[in-house]
Structure 1
Amino acid sequence: MTSSMVVPVIDVQGDNFKELWPAMVLAIKTASFVAVDTELSGLGNRKALLAECIEDRYKAICHAARSRSILSLGIACYKKLDSKAADTYLVQVYNLTLLCSEEYIIEPQSVQFLVQHGFDFNKQYAQGVPYHKGNSKGCSDSQGVSSRALFTELLRARKPLVLHNGLIDMAFLYQCFYAHLPERLATFTADLSEMFPAGIYDTKYATEFELRLTASYLEYAYKKCKLDNSRSVASGGSGPHVHVEFCQYVGHMSSYVDYRECPAMASNEGQANSVCQRFSAFGWCPNGAQCPLSHDTDLIILQDEKGKEDKRSKRKRRKERKRGRGEETEGSSIFDGAPENKISHMELDSEEPLDLHQEATSELCPEGKAPFGAENADGGPVTAGAPDTPLTDSHENSPQKEEAVCMKPDSEGNSSAKTDAERKKLEAGSHRAGFDAFMTGYIFAYACTLAKKEQGTAASEEKRQQEESWLPACVNKVYLSGKAAPLHIVKSTFSKSSKAHVHKMEMVWGKSVAATLADRAPQANM
Structure 2
Amino acid sequence: MMSSSLVVPVIDVQSNNFKELWPAIVLAFKTSSFIALDTELSGLGARKALLAESIEDRYKAICHAARTRSILSLGLACYKKLEGKADSTYLVQVYNLTLLCAEEYVIEPQSVQFLVQHGFDFNKQYAQGVPYDKGNDKGGEPQGVNMRTLFVELLRANKPLVLHNGLIDLIFLYQCFYAHLPEKLGTFTADLSQMFPAGIYDTKYATEYELRFTASYLEYTYKKCKLDNSRSIETAQDGPHVFLEFCNYTGRLQSYVDYRPCIDSHSSDGPLNICVQFSAYGWCPSGSRCPMSHDTDLIIRQDEKSKEDKRKKRKRRKKKKAAKEEEEEEEDGPPQDKKAHVEDMDEDGEEKEEQKEDEKVDGKFTAHDEEMPSSETPAAESHSDPDKNESDAPQTHDPTPDATNKSPKASERKVEGGTHRAGFDAFMTGYIFAFASIRNAEGPDSWIPACANKLYLSGKSVPLHIAKSTFSKSSRAHMTKMEQVWRKQFPKADGNA
Per the normalisation by structure 1, the TM-score is 0.83
CA RMSD of aligned residues (A): 2.7
2:366 is matched by which residue type in structure 1? G
In 2, Cα distance between the equivalents of 1:439 and 1:283? 14
Is the 1:251–1:396 Cα contact (8 Å) retained in structure 2?
A: no
CA gap 1:405/1:415 in 2 versus in 1, 3 angstroms: closer
Determine if the alignment matches structure 1 residue 484 to structure 2 residue 484.
no
Q: Distance in 1 between matches of 2:380 and 2:478?
A: 35
Q: Which whole-Å CA distance do the structure 2 matches of 1:479 and 1:5 have between them?
A: 29
- 2:334 is matched with which residue? none
Question: 2: distance between equivalents of 1:397 and 1:187?
Answer: 40
Task: Tell me: CA distance 1:427–1:133, structure 2 relative to 1, closer, same or farther (3 Å).
Answer: closer
Q: Which residue of structure 1 aligns with residue 23 of structure 2? A: 22
- For residues 395 and 431 of structure 1, the distance between their equivalents in structure 2, rounded to whole angstroms, comes to 23
Q: CA deviation at 1:236?
A: 2.2
**Kept after mapping to 2: 8 A contact 1:8/1:393:** no
Q: Distance in 1 between matches of 2:448 and 2:229?
A: 18
1:257-289: CA deviations, max 9, x gaps?
A: 0001111341531033x0111111111111111
Unaligned runs of 5+ in 2: 329-353, 493-497
Aligned to 1:418: 408
The residue matched to 1:115 in structure 2 has which SS?
helix
For 2:76, the equivalent position in structure 1 comes to 75
Cα gap change, 1:137 to 1:382, in 2 (>3 Å): closer
Query: Residue 449 of structure 1 corresponds to which residue in structure 2?
Result: 438
Deviation at 1:323, TM superposition (A): 1.5
Pairwise CA distance, 1:431: 3.0
CA contact (8 A) 1:99 1:128 kept: yes
Matches within 5 A, 1:345-356: none
Structure with max Cα Rg: 2
Secondary structure of the structure 2 residue equivalent to 1:247: strand
Work out the number of aligned pairs and report it. Answer: 463
Distance 1:473 1:28 in 2: 25
Q: Give the SS at the match of 2:446.
A: coil
Corresponding residue SS for 1:495: coil
Structure 1 position 398, deviation (Å): 4.2
- Cα distance between partner residues in 2 of 1:190 and 1:410: 42
Q: Separation in 2 of the partners of 1:231 and 1:392?
A: 29
Q: Aligned AA for 1:52?
A: E
- My pick for the range that moved more, 505-514 or 124-133, is 505-514
> Structure 1, residues 88-138: CA drift from partner, whole Å, max 9, x if none?
000000000000111111111111111222211111111100010001123
CA offsets 1:321-343 (integer angstroms, 9 cap, x no match) = 12212379xxxxxxxxx99659x
1: distance between equivalents of 2:128 and 2:386? 23
Provide Cα deviations, 1:391-412, integer angstroms capped at 9, x if missing partner: 97773774499x9764233534
2:452 to 469, 475, 488: 475
Cα gap change, 1:394 to 1:339, in 2 (>3 Å): farther
Q: Counterpart in 2 of 1:66?
A: 67
The aligned counterpart of 2:428 is 439
* Equivalence for 1:191: 191
Once the two structures are TM-superposed, the CA of residue 368 in structure 1 deviates from its matched residue by 7.2
Equivalents in 2 of 1:37, 1:379: separation in Å? 15
Cα deviation 1:157-214 (Å, max 9, x = unaligned): 1100000000000000000000001000011000000100110000000001000000
Matched ranges for 1:258-273 at <5 A: 258-272=258-272
Following superposition, the deviation at residue 215 of structure 1 comes to 0.2
SS in 2 for 1:225: helix
Distance across 2 between alignment mates of 1:438 and 1:368: 27
> 1:476 offset after TM fit, Å?
0.4
Q: Report the CA distance shift for 1:253/1:339 in structure 2 as closer, same or farther (over 3 A).
A: farther
Relative to the length of structure 2, the TM-score reads 0.87
Match of 1:377 in 2: 370
Trace 1:389-404 onto structure 2 (pairs within 5 A).
395=384, 398-399=387-388
Secondary structure of residue in 2 paired with 1:37 = strand
- Residue 430 to residue 32, structure 1, CA distance change in 2 (3 Å): closer
AA matched with 1:376? D
Matching residue's letter, 1:373: T
Q: Secondary structure at the match of 1:91?
A: strand
Question: In 2, distance between residues paired with 1:399 and 1:480?
Answer: 43
Indicate conservation of the 8 Å contact 2:262/2:419, yes or no.
no
Partner of 1:33: 34
Cα displacement string for residues 360-403 of structure 1 (whole angstroms, at most 9, x for unaligned residues): xxxxxx987332332223799545xx89xx997773774499x9
C-alpha distance in 2, partners of 1:244/1:499? 42
Residues 218-297 of structure 1 mapped to structure 2, 5 A cutoff? 218-236=218-236, 238-272=238-272, 274-297=273-296
Matches of 2:365 and 2:393, distance apart in 1: 40
Match in the other structure for 1:110:
111
User: Taking CA–CA contacts closer than 8 Å with sequence separation of 6 or more, which of the two structures ends up with the larger relative contact order?
Assistant: 2
Q: 1:89 to 1:514 in 2, by over 3 A?
A: farther
Counterpart of 1:502 (choices 465, 468, 479) is 479
**Counterpart for residue 341 of structure 2:** none
User: 1: CA distance between counterparts of 2:450 and 2:385?
Assistant: 39
Work out whether 1:168 is the aligned partner of 2:156: no
Equivalents in 2 of 1:397, 1:485: separation in Å?
43
Deviations 1:16-48 (A, max 9, x none): 000000000000110000000000001111110
- Farther-moved stretch of structure 1 (434-443 vs 292-301): 292-301
| Residue 180 of structure 1: aligned partner | 180
Letter in 1 for 2:384: H
Q: 1:497 to 1:382 in 2, by over 3 A?
A: closer
**Among 408, 431, 451, which residue is 2:396 paired with?**
408
The answer to whether the Cα contact below 8 Å between 2:37 and 2:380 also exists between their aligned partners in 1 is no
Cα separation, 2, equivalents of 1:509 and 1:394: 23
Answer with 114-123 or 88-97: which moved more: 114-123
- What amino acid is the match of 1:503? T
Identify the residue that residue 315 of structure 1 maps to in structure 2.
314
**Offset, 1:241:** 1.5
Distance in 2 (alpha carbons) for counterparts of 1:472 and 1:431? 29
Whether contact under 8 Å (2:118, 2:417) holds in the other structure is: no
State the one-letter code of the partner of 2:12. Answer: D
- Asked if 2 retains the 8 angstrom alpha-carbon contact of 1:119 and 1:431, the reply is no
Contact 1:201 1:475 in 2 (8 A): yes
The 2-side partners of 1:121 and 1:107 are apart by 13
CA contact (8 A) 2:215 2:366 kept: no
Any idea what SS the aligned residue of 1:326 has?
A: helix
1:444 deviates by 0.2
In structure 2, the CA distance between the partners of 1:16 and 1:469, relative to structure 1 (3 Å rule), is: same
2:124 & 2:295 partners in 1: Cα distance?
31
